[in-house]
Structure 1
Amino acid sequence: MARGHSPGTTSGFVRRFAGLAGGYWSGPDRWSVWPLAAALLALTVAQVSVPVMMNLWSQRLFDALEQRAMDRLPMMAAAAGGILLYNIAVTVAHLWVKRRLQFGWRAWLTRRLVGDWVSDGREHALPSRPGNHDNPDGRIAEDVRVVTELAVDLGHSLTYCLLLLVSFAGILWRLSGVVPVAVGGVSVPVPGHLLLLALAFAAAGTTAALAVARPLVRAAERRQGLEADFRFGLARVRENASVIARQQGEAVERGRLALLFGGVRRGWDGQTGALVRVMAFGASYSVLSAVFPILVVAPRYAAGAITLGMMMQTAQAFQQAVAALSWPIDNLATVAQWTASVERVQGLREALDGIAPLPPVKAPASGFLSDGGNTARKR
């Protein structure tokens, strides 16, 4: 595990995450892990081919409608059916491969943490050690799941968006042609203006979204900590039920749980406020990204420079390129949740690494621990 890197820097966070969970990709299971990852990448490429095919199909459909060529519709319907079946096959295969990879990674990290926690007396020494490592059971059961599942989801979505951007950047560049722009009385030919507009549109949207959603990471981390405190409080009542009943301490425990759940409500409300700002911006941004390209291309269609099919193809290509460039906006909440869970699991791992093993305790001469349960079975 990497030490000495500030958790507040991106490079330090990546190194710490690699030290925490990267062994899954280089350990004994790598011979089965890497083929799954390669299959996931190939299926992601196949997923990207679907919107590209639909973009070409849309152009031909609207050109046929503009020309009143109804005889082409049966062929267009058959092509759409083929794309549909292809998309179903790719989607199902992709889901199966992705979930196998996610659960395999979760199982590996769970075994590692449980092995470090329930060994050499660390489970006994951990509660008295200072630091951010409360509720180890919740961190192993829930945060490990979030860390591994969302790592695969985010990696897939980022790869998909990069491939989508490359595919539709080429289409936009081709459809843009060369547009003359007057600069100081001189006509300057500008190639690929639609691609440049898409890049500028997405850059402005991403910058604004990051400014709007900056508190979301802190809100997500705070909420997860409060949720874990409430789960721990409930587990404490369950484990000490007999003592609570003998001492008639139900009212006190109900009050304590109410206070903990009040913290859950505050965490929920804080995250809701941050999400409202992000969602309001996202809703506005999605509408603008649908309207803007049509308004940009409509004058060329009205002038007869492009067909109706080319106008619709251009608008769709612009939307797909902007959607690919908008990955940071679309995944802000997911990245915030994943980052918070990584920090919680990393805090537990560092605390366990810092505990020296307790001296061995001499096993009893008889009993469950000494004979593997034979004593109990003899009764």
Structure 2
Amino acid sequence: MSAAGFWLSPASWRIWLLCILLVSVVILQLYVQFRLNYWNRDFFNALESRSPAHLKAEALLLIPLAGASILLAVTSVWGRMTVQRKWREWITTHLIDYWIDDGRYTRLTIEDEQTIPEYRIATDARIATDAPVDFALGLVSSLLTAIIFLQVLWTTGGDADFKLFDHQIWIPGYLVGSVIIYSGGVTMVMMLIGAPLTRIIQIKNQTEAELINAANLLRDLGEGLVPELKESDVERGLRGALQNVLTQWRFLCWQLMQTTLVSHGNTLLAPIIGFVLCAPKFLAGTMTLGELTQAAAAFTLVQSSFNWLVDNYSRLADWVSSLERVGGLLLSLDRLNGQTRSVAPAKPEASVAAIKPLP
């Protein structure tokens, strides 16, 4: 079973139509954002010129632009969550069917708590299908945003011409080069700091599953399903599982504090850097107040597009972790399925011993 079964099925044309709608919404949102960028320039130019008529015209123009932006945002949420719901329904149904078929759920051993299928079906399958839709739309939006607003930076920012140690320096499209250097530096720092995040999330998810299994074991003991176990041992295992979860959450908290330091710092600094880079031209009188705000806003949008990885690093790590866990469940079921074909039918106890836990 793979994602191809969902995207290439005979009935998938509806999903593809919905995806086309979502891409169209992204393009329209970017057009509205482009118009708002120029509205921002014209509005501040009107303020600088102290023109009431111009200010009134810009205020009236803002109403349809804001309305269109809100409508497109709402439509995007509906379309995105519809695709995610349909994909989750398909993959979860197939996981359940594969798990139940031929009584595999009775023969899939849980010698290692990492093999718990319930958590993977309920939680990891959701993350594995939700995130790719958001990532795809985010990447398309970031790519188009970078293409569109790089042109704004190039034309609005113009060239830089200054003296350095008695040498005349000329840099064409200096804002474009600046945003590329800045974004590249932030992305490299995030990748270095956030490298352990995927592994930490994997371990955290494993301990969460172990806690669920320990709680279920206590319930089974109360219902008399596992009379061979002692209540004290099961309770000790439950409390130990809770401590493992809390320990991993502490590790995750520390890691997220470091990545947040980079991402939040970037959110605060990027607009300021845009203003600082444009300030000399504004003070020299070669850039209007409207062009200053327009260029600074475009700088922020472009760096945000280039730093898509920075903004989504934590969720990307979470998605990779869930994807591997769903794949691990399928691998165990595949092993069990292959063994069922090659070995003569036997009692469930005979097949349980031969199934290996997930790696």
Fold match (TM-score > 0.5): yes
What is the match of residue 355 of structure 2?
Answer: none
Report how far residue 260 of structure 1 moved. Answer: 0.3
Instruction: Say whether the 8 Å CA contact 1:48–1:164 is kept in structure 2.
Output: yes
Question: What do residues 124-180 of structure 1 show as CA deviations (whole Å, max 9, x unaligned)?
Answer: 22216x889611111011100010011111111121111111111111111122333
Q: Against the structure 1 CA distance between its residues 186 and 245, is the aligned structure 2 distance closer, same or farther, given a 3 Å change threshold? A: closer
Deviates more, 1:326-335 or 1:183-192: 183-192
Query: Which one of the candidate residues 114, 119, 139 is aligned to 1:158?
Result: 139
1:91 is matched with which residue: 50, 65, 73?
73
TM-score (norm 2): 0.89
User: What's the CA shift string for 1:185-209, capped at 9, x where partnerless?
Assistant: 7756432110110000000111111
Aligned to 2:49: 67
Conserved 8 A contact 1:131-1:351: no
User: In the alignment, what sits opposite 2:62?
Assistant: 80
Aligned position for 1:357: 340
User: What residue number does 1:52 align with?
Assistant: 34
Q: Match for 1:134 among 115, 122, 131?
A: 115
Hey, what's the Cα distance between the residues in 1 that align with 2:213 and 2:2? 24
Decide whether aligned partners of structure 1 residues 163 and 132 sit closer, same or farther in structure 2, where only a CA change above 3 A counts. farther
* Helix, strand or coil at the partner of 2:160: strand
Number of equivalent positions: 343
Q: Distance in 1 between matches of 2:8 and 2:232?
A: 52
- Residue of structure 2 aligned with 1:225, choices 206, 218, 228: 206
Task: Find the counterpart in structure 2 of residue 170 from structure 1.
Answer: 151
Match of 1:339 in 2: 320
Code of the aligned partner of 1:77: A
2:13 is equivalent to residue 31 of structure 1: yes
Corresponding residue number in structure 2 for 1:367: none
Is 1:286 the counterpart of 2:249? The answer is no
Aligned counterparts of 1:101 and 1:234: Cα–Cα separation in 2: 34
Within 5 Å, give how 1:1-379 maps onto structure 2: 20-127=2-109, 134-180=115-161, 187=168, 189-243=170-224, 249-355=230-336, 356-357=339-340
Check whether the contact 1:110–1:140 (CA below 8 A) recurs between aligned residues: yes
Which structure 1 residue ranges, 5 or more long, are not aligned?
1-18, 362-379
Consecutive unaligned residues in structure 2, runs of 5 or more = 347-359
Taking structure 1 as the reference length, the TM-score comes to: 0.84
Following superposition, the deviation at residue 31 of structure 1 comes to: 1.4
Instruction: Indicate if the aligned counterparts of 1:162 and 1:324 stay in contact, CA closer than 8 A.
Output: yes
- 308-317 vs 231-240, which moves further: 231-240
RMSD: 2.4
Pick closer, same or farther for the CA change 1:23–1:182 going to 2, 3 Å: farther
Partner Cα separation in structure 2 for residue 215 and residue 168 of structure 1: 33
Distance 2:136 2:223 in 1: 47
Contact 2:218–2:231 (8 Å) recurs in 1: no
**CA offsets, 1:259-318, max 9 Å, x none?**
000010011011101000011122222222121111111110111101110011011111
Query: Which letter maps to 2:70?
Result: I
**For residues 242 and 200 of structure 1, what CA distance do their matches in structure 2 show?**
63
Q: Output the amino acid matched with 1:172.
A: L
Partners of 1:351 and 1:174 in 2: CA distance: 57
Kindly state the Cα deviation for residue 340 of structure 1 after the two structures are TM-superposed: 0.2
One-letter code aligned to 2:321: A
Specify whether residues 158 and 132 from structure 1 end up closer, same or farther in structure 2 by C-alpha distance, changes over 3 A only: farther
C-alpha distance after superposition, 1:34-55 (max 9, x if no partner):
1111111111112222321221
Amino acid across the alignment from 2:314: A
For residues 175 and 33 of structure 1, do their structure 2 counterparts lie closer, same or farther at Cα, with a shift above 3 Å needed?
A: same
Gap change, CA 1:29 and 1:62, over 3 Å in 2: same
Q: What residue identity is the alignment partner of 2:77? A: L
Distance in 2 (CA, whole Å) between partners of 1:106 and 1:43 is 22
- In structure 1, what is the Cα distance between the partners aligned to 2:118 and 2:184? 42
User: Following the alignment from structure 1 to structure 2, what is the Cα–Cα distance between the partners of residues 244 and 350?
Assistant: 28
Q: Which deviations, in whole Å up to 9, do the C-alpha atoms of 1:232-263 show, x marking residues without a partner? A: 11122223322289889544332221100001
Contact 1:122 1:357 in 2 (8 A): no
Contact 2:218/2:235 (CA < 8 Å) preserved in 1?
A: no
Counterpart-to-counterpart distance in 2, 1:121 and 1:242: 23
- Determine the structure 2 residue equivalent to 1:377: none
Shifted more, 288-297 versus 271-280: the winner is: 288-297
